[in-house]
Amino acid sequence: MMHQKYYMVIGGDGFLGRGIAETLKKSGKRVITTSRKKQNLSDSCIYLNMTGDISSWEVPNDVGVAFFCVAVTSREQCRAHPDKSRKINVENTTSIASKLADKGTAIIFPSTNLVFDGLQRLCKIDDPVCPLTEYGRQKRETETGLLKQGGIITIARFTKIFGPETPLVLNWIEQLQRKILIRPFSDMVLAPVSIDFTVNALIEIANKQSCGIWHISANKDTTYADLARHLARRMGISQQFIQPIKTKDSGLVFESIPQHTTLDATRLQKELGIHPPDPFDAIDSIIGSYYENKDC
């Protein structure tokens, strides 16, 4: 009987990476993670600092699949510090991917709907990419670099991911509980998916061992204001504590405000039988987790 190869999660202590690593471990898989925090290191967690020189970093043996979950995902940080964020999001990611690919490791690279300009809904896998943000441009560059390298490369583009620790939603919950006014955007849309949905989809994609591009998305866009209203209804809080505002009145600067964020997930449905969820499912999952933890 052949022994089971490792699943490697690069950035296993981050939001997405932690979810993938924990789910794999629960299913009995062999998992090795990386971290730049030396206090987190163990027999199954090795050191990797993606902000520095990784030329001497050695790839572990026997890694079958590697998930890349280290990235600067803040659009503001990428805009303000393009060289620093590019070091992580592009240069070091493609370098490590090349080392892994040389050993025959399958690469799973999470990307974003922001490789598109947001002018049309349900962007297809083969639609031309034209990002309008620095973060989107960096993801596009890495996508291109990885696909040119060859090997077993999978690009998984997804929309906004919500989880139990998502600061925006937690702040909304706590403010509404205290009857404090919240001011969500009425003219900014998103198509959120829950962290559980995203993790399960990525693992299924990895198990499929099919290269190319996949899309993970909710089935439609909604505004931040409508998400907040849904949250208030679920909490039994009056809508009077929600006061939507326009982005232009927020005092914040945005590189781009997409008109649409949804991705066409036809491949996900046809090949894996995974159907895009309703965007409000992502909010519901946070509410359930929040009150469950409160009761503990």
Alpha helices, DSSP H, located in 113-244: 134-149, 167-177, 195-208, 224-235
296 assigned to some structural domain = no
Q: What is the C-alpha separation between 65 and 58, in angstroms, rounded?
A: 16
Against a cut of 0.85, is the pTM above it? yes
pLDDT at 208: 87
pLDDT at 106: 95
Ranges of the chain whose pLDDT falls below 50: 1-2, 296
Structure tokens at 187: 């003219």
240 assigned to some structural domain = no
211 assigned to some structural domain = yes
Domain range spanning residue 208? Answer: 6-165+193-220+262-278
Q: What is the C-alpha separation between 45 and 184, in angstroms, rounded?
A: 39
pLDDT at 292: 66
pLDDT at 210: 82
pLDDT tens digits, 53-100: 999 999 998 999 999 999 999 999 999 999 999 999 999 999 999 999
Instruction: Label the pairing between strands 222-223 and 189-190.
Output: antiparallel
pLDDT at 29: 95
283 assigned to some structural domain = no
Query: If 0-12 CB within 10 Å is exposed, 13-18 middle and 19+ buried, where does residue 46 land?
Result: middle
- The CATH number covering residue 67 comes to 3.40.50.720
246 assigned to some structural domain = no
288 assigned to some structural domain = no
pLDDT tens digits, 233-264: 999 999 999 999 999 999 988 999 999 999 99
Orientation of helix 279-295 relative to helix 224-235, angle to 10°:
40
Q: What is the C-alpha separation between 270 and 201, in angstroms, rounded?
A: 13
Q: What is the C-alpha separation between 17 and 73, in angstroms, rounded?
A: 13
Counting the structural domains of the chain, the total is 1
181 assigned to some structural domain = no
230 assigned to some structural domain = no
